[in-house]
Structure 1
Amino acid sequence: MKPLSLPSTEPDLIEDVLAWHDGDARAAISALLDDCQHLRLQLALTEAAASSGFTRGWRPRFDRQDNA
């Protein structure tokens, strides 16, 4: 008997974001930029509050480093 398998379709995140904003690309970009700004603030607060010993020397990076 063959095991059951789920379809291997990955969600299209761009289409999902646009659909959430009723197809308004400017609203979608604005919301994503707002989210990015909020997360950067949260990261800055965490960096200030967490001691080096707590994070075992890890320091956050505010900019993404692509593995290209």
Structure 2
Amino acid sequence: MKPDRRSGPADAELADVVAYHNGDMRAAIGTLLEDIRHLRRQLALAEGAMSRGMARGWRPSYDRD
């Protein structure tokens, strides 16, 4: 199975992330994983702070479907 090779804005973002880390892919991935952990914590805090009525029963999902 061949990898999907699409060109677009995501490619530019990927290039920016890798360039920021001077070509170190492990550092780039590590930073992105830290960002994911941070955003999950922020989502959990927001979920705890909002009332059920405010979101009309909506609950955040922590994983992609």
Superposed pair shares fold, TM > 0.5: yes
- The DSSP-based 3-state class of the residue aligned with 1:36 is helix
Structure 1 length normalisation: TM-score? Answer: 0.76
Report the alpha carbon displacement of residue 26 of structure 1 after superposing the two structures with TM.
0.7
**Two-structure CA RMSD over aligned residues (Å):** 1.4
Q: Does 1:27 pair with 2:11? A: no
Point out the structure with max Rg over C-alpha. 1
Structure 1's consecutive aligned runs of 4 or more residues displaced over 4 angstroms after TM superposition are none
Counterpart mapping for 1:1-68 below 5 A:
10=9, 12-65=12-65
Residue ranges of structure 2 left out of the alignment (5+ in a row) = 1-7
Report the alpha carbon displacement of residue 43 of structure 1 after superposing the two structures with TM.
0.4
Structure having the higher helix fraction is 2
Structure 2 length normalisation: TM-score? Answer: 0.79
Residue ranges of structure 1 left out of the alignment (5+ in a row) = 1-8
